């Protein structure tokens, strides 16, 4: 709260917008609690389409938050994704920031 009693929301301005998008936040939350997961598992968890998930993954990979591991299992391609240490730290910082923000809001 500021001196005049109003709630200061300006910390929201510098919130991490890469994480803040609902679909990416959902993906990062799931990846935060596991070591790695493949595309199919993430699609099942999030309900996103393959293309949608792929687009969001591209942005997260570009930001250095996720690492994509591609391999062939037999003759089938398999892609698994894990959070990088940088992604883990960014998620932790985002969570802390949001928690602080929400705790400051009046009931």
Whichever of 18 and 37 has its CB closer to other proteins, that residue is 37
Q: Does the footprint of other proteins cover residue 77 (CB under 8 A)? A: yes
Task: Give burial (CB, 10 Å; 0-12/13-18/19+) of 33.
Answer: exposed
Residue with tokens 């994509």: 68
Query: Maximum distance among all alpha carbons in the chain?
Result: 66
Q: How many CB atoms lie within 10 A of CB 86?
A: 13
Q: Does the footprint of other proteins cover residue 32 (CB under 8 A)? A: yes
Residue 73 beta carbon to other proteins: minimum distance, rounded to whole angstroms:
9
Which residues are near other proteins by CB under 8 A? 29-30, 32-45, 50, 54-55, 57-58, 61, 68, 70, 76-77, 79-80, 82, 95, 98-99
């Amino acid at each position: 709260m500021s001196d005049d009693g109003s709630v200061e929301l300006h910390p929201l301005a510098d919130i991490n917008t890469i994480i803040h998008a609902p679909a990416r936040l959902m993906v990062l939350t799931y990846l935060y609690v596991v070591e790695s997961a493949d595309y199919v598992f993430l699609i099942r968890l999030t309900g996103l389409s393959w293309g949608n998930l792929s687009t969001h993954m591209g942005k997260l990979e570009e930001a250095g938050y996720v690492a994509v591991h591609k391999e062939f299992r037999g003759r089938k391609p398999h892609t698994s994704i894990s959070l990088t240490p940088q992604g883990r730290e960014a998620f932790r910082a985002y969570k802390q920031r949001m928690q602080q923000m929400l705790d400051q809001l009046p009931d």
